[in-house]
């Protein structure tokens, strides 16, 4: 039963309500790339709309005549009879059209070293790298694994592979040798591109030893890798295997500075990006060329309102994640943008490093993750206040739902109460942004992704696949194919069908819960496996986390459901307090703090959502991309041995939390 005595719906409870709304200023709306008519055009002729985007934003060697072939569903074919090259679109055409002197990349190394690459520079480097890879035997269709820090060579390496039609598979530089080994084996990679190391928190962090370990024969099985191309970044001592390992600078120095791109069909594989699967075997998400590039360019131009001649864009994501593929390497460069790439962490050598970079390069568009925003909230707003952030005109959020209070802080402290915020929902599998405000059209609501972009069809349904009414919650589904969609799981078509297309036959469902508010706007509620069942109520961890963070004393919160004899599951919360928390709470007594926060959740949402336990912690277990690993917190809350923690940024965090809970 629900609180008013009516039976609880099969969908998710919709408990938090947000009434604040921020329409764009008339000045911003008037100059925006995306106007309201775009929704109408896409609704009237969806396929015609996507064909127009693909023709306007992408240069085709052979123009396509067919927009979508869905006869092999759930594997789509978009623009399939057209041919193109991704690197040509990202680099060559800008040079050919007279934009070669425009800055493509402002690079900021963690130690303070800088480099500037124009589109002319980028063309020269990508061509040389493509020739160097060819000399190592890489041919169209061969796979190349990239395991690099956030340095310009990472982007050059991706584009060089694309230039050859050799699908790349980027593995995040923080992953272990075993994680790297499984990805190399699954992709059957011929070459690995790595570095001696990268700089992280003020010290060199070696990468090459992990590659050496990952390609050693194991259990009589030889590695498919023939060569390792090594960028010299830190200068640390590096073991070299004669005949196998090659220095990047030596290979490029002897390579020709011109290279004819390989023209491929639109459905030619562009990259494989591995995500962790529930079975433990990594899932190689396959993206192809034409549709992916068209949607990456379309979303980058319209969601961020990019003015390529004047904007300085900065997406803080690593290229090891899909955000770094779509919104560092491909989308921005296809659109001819000038962007910042930064190697290090937000607090190296001080907690104002990001804001210092924004002031230095006069960054106008910032795209980052809620976890980074909440970390900066925890450090205090006096830090960004020391820097001139007035150049910022659009702010973006990606990676997980952003709680309303972090959204408000981001707008007020970083955006000067004027920059629109685009809270974007998408996934590795979708390839590009799917649900987001348009900054010159949408009256933004703190914490809501709001509406599917023009050309995207999404809905929220209940267990019986009925569309939920406004005010209801359920499962987020995508009911029509889209250009950047994944084309499969590498080498495993059945797993692709089972994982994404079996819950609702013929409909894409990727595991996220969501709700519609009274206006029909979409709010993401996190993974369905992050939903708790408390006394028959299906509660979203995201809403309870947002309620906790709405208290002035709380910087960040993670909520899990732990088995409970009485209620089925009980709400267990882990909170990080802000540096000035004592002021907001009026006490330092932990029991009193817990009671204050429990009551706050009760007031914000209702008594049903009050956490049974709250633990104040110094840190939360996060992956290196900043996602909270709630699975590990659930293990601790249910007194189980903590599961695999190899992808944690700091594995000692779990020991501290376990000790705290056992008190």
Average of per-residue pLDDT across 512-533: 85
Looking at the chain, the whole-number percentage of residues with pLDDT higher than 90 is 75
563 within 8 A of 539, measured Cβ to Cβ: no
Both tokens of 308, joined, read 């390529």
3-state secondary structure of 622: strand
Rg (CA), the chain: 24
Both tokens of 481, joined, read 């194919």
Both tokens of 195, joined, read 């570095």
**Interior angle at CA 474, CA 472 and CA 477, nearest 5:** 120
Beta bridge partners of 228: 192, 245
Global pTM? 0.86
Burial class (CB in 10 A: 0-12, 13-18, 19+), 220: exposed
Nearest to 165 by CA among 269, 77, 83, 254: 269
pLDDT in tens, 130-145: 999 999 999 999 999 9
Both tokens of 660, joined, read 């705290």
pLDDT category of residue 175 using cuts at 50, 70 and 90: confident
pLDDT category of residue 640 using cuts at 50, 70 and 90: confident
222 half-sphere exposure, CB direction, 13 A CA radius = 4
Phi, psi of 474 (to 5 degrees): 180, -140
Lowest mean pLDDT of 378-392, 437-451, 578-592, name the range.
578-592
CA gap 1, 4 in Å, rounded: 8
Q: Cα torsion at 551, 555, 560, 564 (round to 10°)?
A: -50
Nearest to 394 by CA among 310, 454, 458, 336: 310
Average of per-residue pLDDT across 234-248: 97
CA distance between the termini of the chain: 35
Average of per-residue pLDDT across 508-527: 90
Supply the pLDDT for residue 280: 55
3-state secondary structure of 283: strand
DSSP one-letter code for 52: H
CA gap 373, 378 in Å, rounded: 9
Average of per-residue pLDDT across 455-463: 95
CA gap 260, 165 in Å, rounded: 12
Average of per-residue pLDDT across 164-168: 98
**Cis status of the peptide bond prior to 349, with omega within 30 of 0:** yes
536 within 8 A of 589, measured Cβ to Cβ: no
Q: Cα torsion at 369, 372, 374, 380 (round to 10°)?
A: -140
> Of 526-530, 577-581, 626-630, which has the strongest mean pLDDT?
577-581
DSSP one-letter code for 276: -
Give the largest Cα separation in the chain, rounded: 77
Phi, psi of 68 (to 5 degrees): -135, 135
pLDDT value at 6 more than 50: no
546 within 8 A of 405, measured Cβ to Cβ: yes
Q: Which residue has the tokens 């990080």?
A: 576
Residues ≥6 apart with Cβ < 8 Å to 173: 147, 148, 149, 198, 207, 318, 320
pLDDT in tens, 186-226: 999 999 999 999 998 889 999 999 999 999 999 899 999 99
Supply the pLDDT for residue 392: 98
For residue 198, give Cα distances in angstroms to 169, 205, 228, 324, 616: 19, 5, 17, 17, 34
**Sheet of strand 227-231: strand arrangement:** 245-247, 227-231, 191-195, 144-147, 168-170, 269-275, 283-288, 488-489
pLDDT value at 235 more than 50: yes
């Amino acid at each position: 039963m629900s609180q008013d005595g009516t039976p609880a719906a099969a969908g998710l409870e919709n408990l938090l309500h947000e009434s604040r709304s921020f329409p764009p200023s008339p000045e911003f709306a008037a100059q925006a790339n995306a106007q309201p008519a775009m929704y109408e055009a896409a609704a009237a002729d969806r396929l015609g709309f996507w064909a127009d985007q693909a023709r306007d934003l992408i240069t085709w060697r052979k123009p396509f005549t067919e927009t979508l072939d869905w006869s092999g569903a759930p594997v789509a074919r978009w623009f399939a009879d057209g041919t193109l090259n991704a690197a040509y679109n990202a680099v060559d055409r800008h040079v050919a059209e007279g934009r070669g002197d425009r800055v493509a990349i402002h690079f900021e190394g963690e130690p303070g070293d800088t480099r500037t690459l124009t589109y002319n520079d980028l063309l020269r480097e990508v061509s040389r790298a493509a020739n160097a890879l060819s000399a190592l035997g890489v041919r169209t269709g061969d796979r190349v694994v990239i395991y690099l820090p956030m340095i310009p060579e990472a982007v050059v390496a991706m584009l060089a592979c694309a230039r050859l039609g050799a699908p790349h598979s980027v593995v995040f530089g923080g992953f272990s040798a075993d994680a790297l080994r499984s990805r190399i084996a699954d992709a059957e990679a011929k070459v690995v591109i790595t570095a001696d190391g990268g700089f992280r928190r003020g010290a060199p962090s070696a990468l090459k030893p992990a590659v050496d370990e990952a390609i050693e024969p194991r259990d009589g099985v030889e590695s498919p890798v023939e060569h390792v191309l090594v960028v010299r970044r830190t200068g640390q001592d590096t073991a070299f295997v004669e005949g196998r390992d090659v220095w990047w600078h030596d290979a490029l120095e002897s390579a020709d500075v011109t290279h004819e791109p390989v023209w491929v069909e639109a459905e030619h594989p562009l990259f494989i990006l591995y995500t962790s699967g529930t079975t433990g075997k990594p899932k190689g998400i396959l993206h192809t060329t034409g549709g992916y590039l068209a949607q990456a360019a379309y979303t980058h131009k319209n969601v961020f309102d990019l003015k390529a001649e004047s904007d300085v864009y900065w997406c803080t994501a690593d290229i090891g994640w899909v955000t770094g593929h779509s919104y560092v390497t491909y989308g921005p460069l296809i659109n001819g943008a000038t962007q910042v790439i930064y190697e290090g962490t937000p607090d190296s050598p001080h907690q104002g490093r990001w804001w210092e970079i924004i002031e230095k390069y006069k960054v106008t568009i910032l795209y980052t993750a809620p976890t980074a925003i909440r970390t900066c909230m925890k450090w205090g707003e006096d830090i960004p206040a020391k820097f001139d952030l007035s150049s910022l005109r659009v702010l973006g959020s990606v990676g997980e739902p952003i709680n309303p209070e972090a959204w408000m802080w981001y707008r007020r402290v970083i955006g000067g109460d004027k920059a629109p915020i685009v809270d974007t929902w998408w996934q590795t599998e979708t390839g590009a942004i799917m649900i987001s405000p348009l900054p010159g059209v949408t009256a933004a609501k703190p914490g809501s992704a709001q509406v599917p972009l023009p050309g995207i069809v999404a809905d929220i349904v209940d267990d019986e696949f009925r569309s939920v009414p406004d005010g209801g919650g359920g499962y987020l589904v995508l009911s029509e194919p889209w250009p950047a969609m994944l084309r499969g799981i590498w080498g495993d078509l059945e797993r692709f069908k089972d994982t994404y297309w079996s819950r609702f036959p013929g409909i894409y469902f990727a595991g996220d819960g969501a709700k519609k508010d009274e206006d029909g706007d979409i709010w993401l509620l996190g993974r369905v496996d992050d939903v708790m069942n408390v006394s028959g109520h299906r509660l979203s961890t995201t809403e309870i986390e947002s309620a906790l963070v709405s208290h002035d004393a709380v910087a960040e919160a993670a909520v899990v459901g732990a088995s409970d004899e009485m209620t089925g599951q009980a709400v267990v919360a882990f909170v990080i307090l802000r540096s000035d928390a004592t002021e907001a709470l009026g006490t330092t007594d932990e029991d009193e703090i817990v009671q204050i926060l429990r009551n706050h959740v009760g007031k914000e949402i209702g008594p049903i959502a009050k956490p049974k336990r709250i633990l104040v912690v110094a840190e939360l277990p996060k992956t290196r991309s900043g996602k909270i690993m709630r699975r590990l917190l659930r293990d601790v809350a249910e007194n189980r041995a903590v599961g695999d923690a190899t992808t944690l940024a700091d594995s000692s965090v779990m020991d501290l939390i376990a000790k705290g809970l056992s008190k």
